[in-house]
Amino acid sequence: MSSRTLWRSLHLASRRRVALTETSYRCFSCSRQSLADPKSDHERMTHFGFSNVPESKKESMVGHVFSSVASSYDTMNDLMSLGIHRLWKDHFVRSLDPGSALPSRDGDNAGKGWNILDIAGGTGDIAFRMLDHATNINHDHNTRVTIADINAEMLAEGKKRSIETPYYNTDRLSFMQGNAEHMPSIPDNSVDLYTVVFGIRNFTDKQAALVEAHRVLKPGGVFACMEFSKVDNALFNAVYKNWSFSAIPLIGQLVAGDRESYQYLVESIEKFPSQEEFRGMIQKAGFMIPGRGFENLTGGIAAIHKGIKPLTKA
Amino acid sequence: MARPLLRPLRSCRNPLVYPLFCAPRISLIPATSAIPNQHNQLRRLSRDLPSHHRRLYHSQHHPDPPPHEYTNSQTTILTAALKHVPTHGFTRAALTLGARDTGFLDVSIQLLPRGEFDLILFWLASRRGLLRAAVEQNGLLKSPDSNLVSVEEKTIKLIMERLRMNTEINHQWQDALALMSLPSHIPLSLSELHALSSDILHLAGDASVDASWYTKRLSVSAIYASAEVVMTRDSSPDLAATEAFVTRRIEDSKAIGDKLTGVKQCLGFMGSTAVGLGRSWGLKI
């Protein structure tokens, strides 16, 4: 008798478990479920935050996210990172030291000034920093930046801001709308420095973008990328994860009136490969890795990755 | 053939018996069996190596590690940049010019994550490699006119040889020392200094295997580092002032070492006398 009740309770328990898996409960991203279309089997899938979407769809979904955050982009960044993102960006630009401090000599491969391509730099905060650094620190008035972004609204925001900089309407600053995985308008071996700051996370095919970066860079040119990454300290990681999954969507809701986009933001950070994996991807695209290949910022919340295109042996 | 001969070995499992009864037999076993073969090989190795190559605490079976760990492209840029050091110092400008000379772009110095400090480290490591090559390949310590015998004399010779390599960049070296003493650079600077002092002592033929291994390296490091500082202010011909300084410091350290040994010996005698005295009085010590 008692064995029968035991069997029954076990049986029920197993049944309950089966029922749980059917609904595929995901604790952080219930809001995303409605966005995810029913999958079509024959199309390749990629992740959009925690949900899987067809590759063809991700671009427009990311586009939607950034269109909706473009206007409040800076305020939100300040609130979410407690202002630290400005320090990161300053450090990033300072470590790259854009602009030639030395006058170019005869027979140098390097032309006058650097040709910088800032991918996913719609609002221009990296581009303006680099131009400021080149002008004020290295006294180089020839270095020029092309800001490329897939999203017209982010570019419009950057154009609006550029009016207040001394580079507005000069040949040192230009804007270009395009997909970083395929940029036919940029010739091979033409770029000194390729930067992508907090952008590569949103690319549909990161490896393709890296290969494209390798194509447009001159031999000896540098690929530099700053992106959210993995925190190495378990205790700090717990605090950070709590902050990013509870506070950031809430701040997004209160300030920008858009919880969904910021929910996507934190999920996409979670999905991005670790420092070591991403370094492997950069190497796979054909870059040389300087030293360890990445530099952790604030315990690994963000990381700067660099790769150098090797000289072709003549 | 090997089997019957190996049989007596089996009876020798007892480690106490083994050295007494079995050790002599090993030499009787022909070289076809495995164990004595190894013995012979080792013996031959240690016999064949010239005494100069006898390196304590250095594996004989592995090649020397390269003096630095830079990749080919990094080495290319750094080597070219060293040519610009006398005019531009250990700066980013020298690195940039080195990159341009070798067909790289200005931005390519990102290949060196530590920037100008990499240039200093490369200078130190490559000069250390040159010093090693000067001794092992060019026979620096074997020249007929020099009659260097003691480790101290050889050490002085090697320290001076290394310091002379700094002559062409002497006017830039103070800046480099300042950069090396930044808190974030101290660990690497010290490990490079240790590597140099270890190389110098090894090349000088130092064979100590006790605690003096550490103290000797410590004192050579201290002497070399202070001599570098002295050298930046030295305007005498052929670094005579620096050489006198190094000789004095080596003598000092030898004198201090001798004094310490004397004190230790004296304390040891007094201790054993006290113990003997106590025992003769019936103390249970």
Binding residues of A for S-adenosyl-L-methionine: 123, 149, 179-180
Q: Where are the alpha helices (DSSP H) in A180-296?
A: 206-216, 234-242, 248-251, 259-271, 275-284
CA distance B159 to B179: 22
Is residue B160 a part of any domain in this protein?
A: yes
Q: Are residues B35 and B120 in the same domain?
A: no
Angle A88-A302-A183 (CA atoms, 0-180°, nearest 5)? Answer: 90
> What percent of chain B stands above pLDDT 90?
51
Interchain proximity B105–A218, CB inside 8 Å: yes
Which among B250, B254, B255, B54 is positioned nearest to B155, based on CA atoms?
B250
For residue B101 the two structure tokens come to 């000379």
Q: Which of A93, A104, A108 to mutate to test the interface with B (most CBs of B within 10 A)?
A: A108
CATH code of residue B104 = 1.10.357.10
pLDDT of residue B211: 84
pLDDT for residue A103 is more than 90? no
Domain range enclosing B8: 2-48
Q: Are residues B110 and B216 in the same domain?
A: yes
Is residue B59 a part of any domain in this protein?
A: no
Q: Are residues B40 and B127 in the same domain?
A: no
**Mean pLDDT for chain B overall:** 80
Nearest-Cα distance to chain B for A209, in Å, is: 21
> What percent of chain B stands above pLDDT 70?
75
Q: ipTM, 2 decimals?
A: 0.74
Interchain proximity B113–A295, CB inside 8 Å: yes
Which of A91-105, A141-155, A230-244, B59-73 comes out lowest in average pLDDT? B59-73
Q: Are residues B200 and B234 in the same domain?
A: yes
Are A197 and A90 in contact by the 8 Å Cβ rule? The answer is: no
CATH, range A62-101+110-308:
3.40.50.150
- CA B254: distance to chain centroid? 19
Nearest-Cα distance to chain B for A307, in Å, is: 8
Q: Are residues B186 and B93 in the same domain?
A: yes
CA distance A133 to B100: 21
pLDDT of residue A4: 60
Which of the pair, B217 or A70, is modelled with greater confidence? B217
pLDDT of residue A106: 64
Neighbours of A5 (CB within 10 A): 9
pLDDT of residue B138: 81
Is residue B53 a part of any domain in this protein?
A: no
Neighbours of B155 (CB within 10 A): 26
Q: Are residues B33 and B76 in the same domain?
A: no
Number of domains in chain B: 2
Is residue B272 a part of any domain in this protein?
A: no
Which among A280, A92, A297, A99 is positioned nearest to A197, based on CA atoms?
A92
CA distances from B224 to A41, B46, B179 (A): 71, 33, 18
Q: pLDDT-derived band of residue A262, with 50, 70 and 90 as boundaries?
A: confident
pLDDT of residue B40: 47
CA distance A145 to A175: 9
pLDDT of residue B226: 94
Pairs of residues, one from chain A and one from chain B, whose beta carbons lie less than 8 Å apart: 67
pLDDT for residue A207 is more than 90? yes
Interchain proximity A101–B103, CB inside 8 Å: no
CA distances from A68 to A34, A60, A279, A300, B59 (A): 18, 12, 31, 28, 65
Interchain proximity B103–A109, CB inside 8 Å: yes
pLDDT for residue B119 is more than 60? yes
Q: How many residues does chain A have?
A: 314
* pLDDT tens track for A4-28: 655 665 555 555 444 444 444 454 5
Residues of A with CB below 8 A from B93's CB?
A: 101-102
Are A53 and A46 in contact by the 8 Å Cβ rule? The answer is: yes
Is residue B57 a part of any domain in this protein?
A: no
Q: Is the dihedral of CA B79, B80, B81, B82 positive or negative?
A: positive
Q: Are residues B124 and B237 in the same domain?
A: yes
Q: Are residues B38 and B148 in the same domain?
A: no
Residues B144/B150/B155/B156 CA torsion (nearest 10 deg): -70
Which among A188, A179, A195 is positioned nearest to A145, based on CA atoms?
A195
Q: Are residues B34 and B128 in the same domain?
A: no
Helices (H), strands (E): how many in chain A?
11, 9
pLDDT of residue B121: 94
Q: Are residues B119 and B224 in the same domain?
A: yes
Nearest-Cα distance to chain B for A261, in Å, is: 35
Closest in B103, B105, B113 to A291, CB measured: B113
* pLDDT tens track for A281-304: 999 999 999 888 899 998 899 999
Closest in B73, B92, B107 to A288, CB measured: B73
Interchain proximity B106–A291, CB inside 8 Å: no
**Mean pLDDT for chain A overall:** 82
Is residue B7 a part of any domain in this protein?
A: yes
Average pLDDT of the residues in A182-191 = 91
Q: Are residues B168 and B232 in the same domain?
A: yes
pLDDT of residue B21: 39
Are B241 and B251 in contact by the 8 Å Cβ rule? The answer is: no
